[in-house]
Amino acid sequence: MFSPDRNVGKTLADLPAASLPDAKSTVAVIDNKKIEATYQKALSAAEDPILRQQILARIADFEMARSEQAQLNATDNGRYFDKPIALYRELIAMQEKSGQPVKGVDLDQLRYKLAKALSMDSRADEAASALDQLAKTAPSSTYMGETQFRRAEKAFADGDYLAAEKHYKSVADDKSNPLQQNALYMQGWAEFKRADYDVALQSFTKVADQLLSLAKKPEDVAQAVEQLSGAQKNMMEDTFHVMSLSFSYLDGAQSIIDLQKQMGDRVYEHLLYENLGQLYLEKKRFSDSAETYKSFVEHNPLSNYAPEFSIKMIGVYEQGNFPSLILPAKQEYVQRYGISSTYWTQRNGLIGISALNYLHKSLQELAEYEHAQAQELSATNKTEAKSAFSRAANWYREFVASFPKDPKNPEMTFLLAESLSEAGDYPQAITAYEQVAYQYQDKEHGADAGYSMVLLANEMATGQALAETQKASWQERKTNYALRFAQGYPADPRAAAVLTQAAQELLTQKRYAEAATVAEEIINLKPPAEAKLQFTAWLVLGHASFDDKNYAGAEKAYWQVLNLLPANAQTPGAPTAQQMRERIAASIYQQAQSDLALSQKDDAIKKLLRISDVAPDTDIAIKGRYDAGVYLIEQQKWSDAEQVYLSFRQQYPKHELTASIPAKMVLIYQNQSKWALAANELSIMERSSNDPNVKRQSLAMGAELYEKSGNKPMAIEQYQRYANEYPRPVAEAMEAEFHLAQLYGELQDTKKRQYWLQRMIDAHASAGSQANDRTKYLAASATNELADIPYKDFASTPLTLPLKQSLQRKRAALDKALKAQEAVLAFGVAEFTTQASYRIGDIYAQLSRDLMKSERPTSLDAAALEQYDLLLEEQAFPFEEKAIQIHQANAQRSSKGIYDQWVKRSFDELAKLLPARYKKSESVLEVSNEIQ
């Protein structure tokens, strides 16, 4: 324990001894003994009481000086001040007896000097009594301060702390007293001795205030301490120690808070906490010590000293062996002073070196601890392990963020990535791995980090519950990571395999140009990649080139795959030889298509036909040959096309494309005028097709081509089938009937011709909405031709005797003929209307003429015959008039632009019937072109 007996400043005993001024520089040195002897002689001679006191006072001072010198020179503890004591007592008695003040000899001064002599002679009680007397008799004395201080010291030494406190306070209250600070300090001790700790703390606080008055802020305290003298430093140390004791006897750190509430905050507050914490630590009160440091931090979170106190607290836990508290304390330290803390932010990261170093150390320890815990838990509790890995990642991340230029950063970032990966945070892990691999390019962990990026991206693309678009995005990123890895670490043994996988993924992602480039890199690696990787690269190159429309490059690559296939058939994803041949065939086919796009049809045809040499009987080869025929047709190379399709049909009789060949052969044969062969192909189409329209059209076209080839029986057979089997559409059926009528006409089979003519008429009559101008024309034509029969029957029916009976027959024939012609007129087809009109007029004219030319009865006389002729003329005249009207109506069509043979013939008939009007010679008007 500290003691007030330590050297803490001046006391009364430290006052200098009384001596005469040193005047040797101005007067000659006089021997003190001779001076004293002179004063002794003067005293013997002096009778005046006042003078005697003044001389005696001088002698007493000389004796005091001699005693002090003797004491200094002595080797024992004897009494050396008896003479001055006796003289000062004698003078005091003289003063008290006379009651008169003596100039130069003050009673309070005599009492003070007496007390000093007694004190120096170790006669403490007598000295205290002298001082008490001084205080009692001269309270206003200039020696009162020292007197009270000496009295306080005596009381303190005697254990009378209340009296000591009182006397010290009287001195401490005098700011001008040189002993004020010592008195205040001892006052605090007196209060402390009386266990009045709260009051003592206030006194000691005032002492500290005086000692550290130069410090205006906490950062100035250290410098203020350095400027203290040795005694002041001792006093300061004792002051803070006794204050710590007081705090410990009260409520510990809370007492510091309470004191500052009473007296206000102090710039040296941190020293109060520090000394208290140290006191507890020395007493092995570890919890109290740690709580003290913690209290300072909590009440001064932004103080410059806060990190230091947090470190002290953790140090106490370590000394006290409290492992369960150390880890949370270090975590709290990082939270309070780390890069994310308010402390760090407000200082822009400018914190003390020791604090920064401890932060560095703590972050590393916390990260390593959590990482180790996580690894240990991995075998037993996956959920807890993931949480621990996540916590480790947080510490690693904060370390890297806090110390961006630290040489450990590559390793710490790698461990951060590893922890994030184990915690399941793949995106953040990838970011950290990327830093290690490509920002730091760390020699130790760079390659592993780059490879890990590929693996984690694959996990995201395949093992996570993500939307398809997100998975596709991760798959693309994985590919890019793989390419970057292979480029950044080409010497890594994993590079070739990663590059190969990347090429496959680029192909899947339809990044064909990139896939081809990467595949070529693999193929050209030095030293060469292993065989199966080269095989895969060639396959990717083929597919990528094909999909990128580089079909020549694809063919070349596929040939390589086919050559390497026997040795790599067991490679995952390896195609069969047949599949490769089909791919080669497809490449050639597409090359042909490219030629076609450039209008290089001859080259395209050669390639299409070449496919059969590479991959015979493949679908592409078959299609190639078929397409070659198409392009030969387009070039009108009919003979070549014929040979291609004939061989195609012979080689692939059951192929689906074979069914379409007859139509192409029809075109080929038609263009070679091979009508019968074309018709035969149409017969094939008609028989083989399941499409009613194809069957119908093939039958119709085949009939036409048989007719064109001269094979009338086959033409008739085809037309008849068509007319009977396909009455709809009506127009097409009537065309078939029309051809049948023509063919039977050519064969002079009148009956069958008339049958099909009537079929045409009936078909149009029942056509309904399918009727059109063509069906009407055909029906009109057929009606017109059939109308010729009753017309001729009428003309050939004679009027014989008896006239009545023959006239009835003639009238019946007339009705049939007129009805037939009227049927023709009903169609309204101009070509047949004029003919029918003419014939109707001719029928009436013919009847009129036949009446007039009919046989006369032989039994009639001349008069009766004349009368008979008149009667016949009367009968014939209306018919003639009717004929004239009809011919005139037909002739008038010429005014509308219709002038055919039948209109002309109507004019001719009118010229006969009305010669005066219609049989006139034409007059020709000559026009001169000369200009008048």
Which of 302, 312, 315, 230 minimizes the C-alpha distance to 271?
312
Q: Between 776 and 151, where is the model more confident?
A: 776
Rounded average pLDDT over 571-584: 89
| Cα 417 from Cα 468, distance rounded (Å) | 26
141 pLDDT band, cuts 50/70/90, is low
462 pLDDT band, cuts 50/70/90, is confident
pLDDT in tens, 414-431: 999 999 999 989 999 999
Q: Looking at the predicted structure, is the pLDDT value of residue 931 above 60? A: no
Tell me if the bond preceding 527 is cis, omega within 30° of 0.
yes
What is the chain's length? 932
| Cα 184 from Cα 204, distance rounded (Å) | 8
| Cα 679 from Cα 682, distance rounded (Å) | 5
Res 176: pLDDT: 79
| Cα 65 from Cα 15, distance rounded (Å) | 13
Q: Looking at the predicted structure, is the pLDDT value of residue 15 above 60? A: no
| Cα 561 from Cα 571, distance rounded (Å) | 12
Looking at 426-530, list the stretches that DSSP marks H as alpha helix, in order from N- to C-terminal side: 426-434, 446-463, 468-488, 495-508, 512-523
pLDDT in tens, 170-228: 888 878 788 878 888 888 898 899 989 999 999 999 999 899 999 999 999 999 999 99
| Cα 837 from Cα 778, distance rounded (Å) | 19
Q: Looking at the predicted structure, is the pLDDT value of residue 11 above 50? A: no
CA distances to 307, 337, 339, 345, 534 from 330, rounded to whole Å, are: 11, 10, 14, 19, 55
Q: Looking at the predicted structure, is the pLDDT value of residue 259 above 90? A: yes
Angle (CA) 836-839-842 rounded to 5° is 155
Q: Look at 171-175, 408-412, 522-526, 570-574 and tell me which has the smallest mean pLDDT.
A: 171-175
Q: Looking at the predicted structure, is the pLDDT value of residue 928 above 80? A: no
Which of 146, 139, 142, 191 minimizes the C-alpha distance to 165?
191
25 pLDDT band, cuts 50/70/90, is very low
| Cα 593 from Cα 604, distance rounded (Å) | 7
Q: Looking at the predicted structure, is the pLDDT value of residue 119 above 90? A: no
Rounded average pLDDT over 459-467: 79
DSSP one-letter code for 102: B
Angle (CA) 57-60-63 rounded to 5° is 155
Q: Look at 339-353, 505-519, 909-923 and tell me which has the smallest mean pLDDT.
A: 909-923
Q: Look at 106-120, 377-391, 430-444, 452-466 and tell me which has the smallest mean pLDDT.
A: 106-120
pLDDT in tens, 581-613: 999 999 999 999 999 999 999 999 999 999 988
Res 538: pLDDT: 94
31 pLDDT band, cuts 50/70/90, is low
Are the C-beta atoms of residues 737 and 700 closer than 8 Å to each other? no
Q: Looking at the predicted structure, is the pLDDT value of residue 578 above 60? A: yes
Q: Looking at the predicted structure, is the pLDDT value of residue 508 above 90? A: no
Q: Which residues pair with 105 in a beta bridge?
A: 102
Q: Looking at the predicted structure, is the pLDDT value of residue 239 above 60? A: yes
Residue 722: CB atoms within 10 A of its CB come to 26
pLDDT in tens, 540-571: 999 999 999 999 999 999 999 999 989 898 88
Rounded average pLDDT over 910-927: 63
Q: Looking at the predicted structure, is the pLDDT value of residue 295 above 90? A: yes
Q: Dihedral of CA 766/769/770/773: which sign?
A: positive
Which of 529, 624, 531 minimizes the C-alpha distance to 570?
531
CA distances to 231, 826, 833, 834 from 840, rounded to whole Å, are: 164, 13, 10, 10
Residue 289: CB atoms within 10 A of its CB come to 27
Q: Between 523 and 23, where is the model more confident?
A: 523
Q: Looking at the predicted structure, is the pLDDT value of residue 393 above 50? A: yes
Res 895: pLDDT: 81
Res 138: pLDDT: 60
Are the C-beta atoms of residues 628 and 608 closer than 8 Å to each other? yes
144 pLDDT band, cuts 50/70/90, is low
Q: Between 431 and 472, where is the model more confident?
A: 431
Res 60: pLDDT: 78
Q: Looking at the predicted structure, is the pLDDT value of residue 457 above 50? A: yes
Rounded average pLDDT over 759-786: 91
CA distances to 30, 58, 66, 82, 567 from 38, rounded to whole Å, are: 11, 11, 16, 21, 140
- 199's enclosing H/E stretch is helix 197-211
Tell me if the bond preceding 713 is cis, omega within 30° of 0.
no
Are the C-beta atoms of residues 713 and 754 closer than 8 Å to each other? no
Supply 652's token pair: 């692939």
Res 245: pLDDT: 94
Which of 205, 227, 225, 224 minimizes the C-alpha distance to 216?
224
Largest CA distance in the chain: 246
Q: What share of the chain is helix, strand, coil (3-state, %, to 5)?
A: 75, 0, 25
Are the C-beta atoms of residues 544 and 507 closer than 8 Å to each other? yes
Angle (CA) 864-866-872 rounded to 5° is 100
Res 743: pLDDT: 92
Tell me, what amino acid is at 924? V
Q: Dihedral of CA 757/763/766/768: which sign?
A: negative
| Cα 433 from Cα 410, distance rounded (Å) | 10
Supply 477's token pair: 């990123």
Q: Looking at the predicted structure, is the pLDDT value of residue 3 above 60? A: no
| Cα 702 from Cα 686, distance rounded (Å) | 9
| Cα 1 from Cα 242, distance rounded (Å) | 8
Are the C-beta atoms of residues 698 and 683 closer than 8 Å to each other? yes
Which of 352, 366, 353 minimizes the C-alpha distance to 394?
366
| Mean of all residue pLDDT scores within the chain | 85
| Cα 112 from Cα 12, distance rounded (Å) | 10
Query: pTM here?
Result: 0.57
Q: Dihedral of CA 772/774/779/780: which sign?
A: positive
- For the ranges 119-133, 172-186, 476-490, 635-649, the one whose mean pLDDT is highest: 635-649
Which of 592, 595, 598 minimizes the C-alpha distance to 610?
592
Res 276: pLDDT: 94
Are the C-beta atoms of residues 59 and 20 closer than 8 Å to each other? no
Q: DSSP for 358-409? A: HHHHHHHHHHHHHHHHHHHHTTT-HHHHHHHHHHHHHHHHHHHHH-TT-TTH
| Cα 41 from Cα 58, distance rounded (Å) | 13
Res 2: pLDDT: 42
Q: Dihedral of CA 26/29/35/36: which sign?
A: positive
Q: Looking at the predicted structure, is the pLDDT value of residue 651 above 80? A: yes
Supply 890's token pair: 């037909």
Q: DSSP for 739-776? A: HHHHHHHHTT-HHHHHHHHHHHHHHHHT-GGG--HHHH
Are the C-beta atoms of residues 832 and 781 closer than 8 Å to each other? yes
- 738's enclosing H/E stretch is helix 730-746
438 pLDDT band, cuts 50/70/90, is very high
Q: Looking at the predicted structure, is the pLDDT value of residue 361 above 80? A: yes
Kindly tell me the number of DSSP H helices and DSSP E strands found in the chain: 43, 0
Res 150: pLDDT: 78
Q: How far is CA 322 from the centre of its chain?
A: 47
Q: DSSP for 576-607? A: PHHHHHHHHHHHHHHHHHHHHHTT-HHHHHHH
Q: Looking at the predicted structure, is the pLDDT value of residue 233 above 80? A: yes
Res 563: pLDDT: 92
* Distant-in-sequence, close-in-space partners of 102: CB < 8 Å, separation ≥ 6: 50, 53, 54, 95
- Output the 3-class SS for 293-339: HHHHHHHCCCCCCHHHHHHHHHHHHHHCCCHHHHHHHHHHHHHHHCC
Res 452: pLDDT: 94
